[in-house]
A and B are shown apart, each in its own frame.
Chain A
């Protein structure tokens, strides 16, 4: 197999890691909406923490993307 072909396949494989982060981010927001619909008064307390959870989960997708970009360009 050609080295450049392997590079593209590798970049594609690296992007698979984003599946987990997609499930994770969906889970974060789903739990947020569930919590809010159960107790709308808690919006102030949860509101700030949800962004931490979101950013920490989303970072995993970006790690996968960085690996893909390194495979493509570096």
Chain B
């Protein structure tokens, strides 16, 4: 039987399209699921916002649910200054959510279980937030690294700590999403191995497997939420300092 990490293997679905720095770039199963996530999300939201009815139908209600969820999140965590960034945060949430949930479908591939994907998203957020903060506050932005009201003589200790914690944000943000998705899929695979190995007594791990699948669905939605809300919190730090 395949090992638990085989499911994360990336296959080329086309020949090499072009070459960057000696690496040939091809359309892979990861790209397929990214495209699928964008297409499905766009189709759902376009269908939901096509002709707005006073009493929303099922699809429109789903679209409104997504919209209000993110709008509330930004209002609570960033305030009215964050309204400008709504489209970016909304896309980030929907892309991550569909990626996580589609990975749980049979024969699905969770592209968020690759650190390359999550780290790129986290790095974009980190750079954007830093640049927004620098643009908005200029050099005053660096007061973020010294908590307001702390005695001055603590600066040599506090500033390096704050700096390291700030610089480790993209790492913790990306590893959290990647580790949750990877570990969840490995766990499902290992439990599925028990079901096969135990024969007729495999119903016992099968029951556990069903429960764990439900838990993984919760984790998939929760991690998309956490990823987005942490981006909101970082954005709030950059916009309002401390």
Interface residues of A (CB under 8 A from B): 48, 51-52, 55-56, 58-59, 62-63, 65-66, 69, 73
Contacts and interface: CB of A to CB of B under 8 A. Distances in A.
Nearest to B184: A62
Contacts of A59: 172, 175-176, 179-180
Of all A-B residue pairs in the complex, the 10 with the closest CB atoms, nearest first, are A62-B179, A59-B176, A55-B226, A66-B179, A65-B183, A62-B183, A73-B5, A62-B180, A52-B229, A51-B222
B154 to A, nearest CB: 25
B179 A52 contact: no
Interface residues of B, number: 17
Interface of B: 3, 5, 76, 172, 175-176, 179-180, 182-183, 186, 222-223, 225-226, 229-230
B226 A66 contact: no
Contacts of B230: 52
A58 B177 CA distance: 11
Contacts of B222: 51, 55
B175 A66 contact: yes
A64 to B, nearest CB: 10
A62 B229 contact: no
In terms of DSSP, what is the predominant structure of the interface of chain A?
Answer: helix
20 contacts: A48-B229, A51-B222, A51-B225, A52-B229, A52-B230, A55-B223, A55-B226, A59-B175, A59-B176, A59-B180, A62-B175, A62-B176, A63-B175, A63-B179, A65-B179, A66-B179, A66-B182, A66-B183, A69-B5, A73-B3
A69 B186 contact: yes
Contacts, number: 38
Contacts of A52: 226, 229-230
A39 to B, nearest CB: 19
Contacts of A58: 180
Contacts of A62: 175-176, 179-180, 183
A63 B177 CA distance: 11
Contacts of B225: 51
Contacts of B76: 48
Nearest to A74: B5
A59 B180 CA distance: 8
B7 to A, nearest CB: 13
A30 B191 CA distance: 29
B149 to A, nearest CB: 23
A69 B225 CA distance: 26
A38 B212 CA distance: 32
Contacts of A69: 5, 182, 186
Contacts of B226: 51-52, 55-56
A63 B183 CA distance: 10
Contacts of A73: 3, 5
B52 to A, nearest CB: 28
